[in-house]
Amino acid sequence: MPHAVSRLRAACLAHSSTRPHLDRGIPRKERCARCRLAPSHCMCALRPQLAAPPRAAVCLVMAEFEPLKPSNTGWLVADVLEQTHAFTWSRVAVDPALPALLADPQWQPYVVFPGEFVAAPERVVSELAPPLRDGRRPLFVLLDGTWSEARKIFRKSPYLDRLPVLSLKPDQLSRYRLRRSSHDHHFCTSEVAALCLALAGDVHAAQTLEAYLEVFSARYLSARQSVPPDPQDQAHLRLRGLAAPPR
């Protein structure tokens, strides 16, 4: 069954008549519909299945064309975590399922965003609240887009204003290699999701997502360079060591 980001991509393709050219190569490259890589570098057989579902979940609020980008890593989050929700952001036409999800009593939502850009510092937390008696679980709201798009989503989404803001303070620098950023501390969506999962105690899921991103990045770049994938490199070996049998 297609996951949340796959369904969002299909909806974008069906309803958008003015799509940008998102492949860097000309002519547009043939890609696997499921993993978005060139057929010669397809990694569908490597999609991991977690032995146990994580306690936390992820809600992706995605900029308009983000689900269509081959390099989007929110797709990888949905590949690994069945409890991934995805919505296309709009300032005026909000999907009613999004505020309904944020109000669902089974979840304690956190908007993940740098604290130094939050006007009300009392909203900012650097760690999760202790488990509540009512059993609510963490729901991490990730703003999936460029930095300017993420800032716009954060500022212009009133339904996010009542939520605590989780400001991550990772020790490491981003290792994401598929899009350029002028700041090493800007993490891709998949890296942010892995950091959040680790913070929630879902360590195995976090490690699996990190390894899956490394394999995706390696295959994406080798396809761009017309180099065969190396299934015995460190990234592939790490993923195989972490993953349950693929689904």
- pLDDT tens for residues 70-128? 999 999 999 999 999 999 999 889 999 999 999 999 999 999 999 989 988 899 998 88
| Cα–Cα distance for residue pair 197/65, rounded to 1 Å | 26
Please give the pLDDT value at position 7. 92
pLDDT at 236 over 60: yes
Geometric angle at alpha carbon 197, from 191 and 199, rounded to 5°: 105
pLDDT at 144 over 90: yes
At 132, the pLDDT band (50, 70, 90 cuts) reads low
Please give the pLDDT value at position 172. 52
pLDDT at 234 over 90: yes
At 28, the pLDDT band (50, 70, 90 cuts) reads low
pLDDT at 203 over 50: yes
Could you tell me the pTM of the whole model?
A: 0.89
Tokens at residue 76, please? 């990888």
| Cα–Cα distance for residue pair 34/39, rounded to 1 Å | 10
Q: Please identify which residue in the block is written with the tokens 């598929």.
A: 178
The residue among 223, 127, 222 whose CA lies nearest residue 168 is 127
In residues, how long is the chain?
247
Of 173 and 29, the one with more pLDDT:
29
pLDDT at 57 over 90: yes
| Cα–Cα distance for residue pair 10/176, rounded to 1 Å | 26
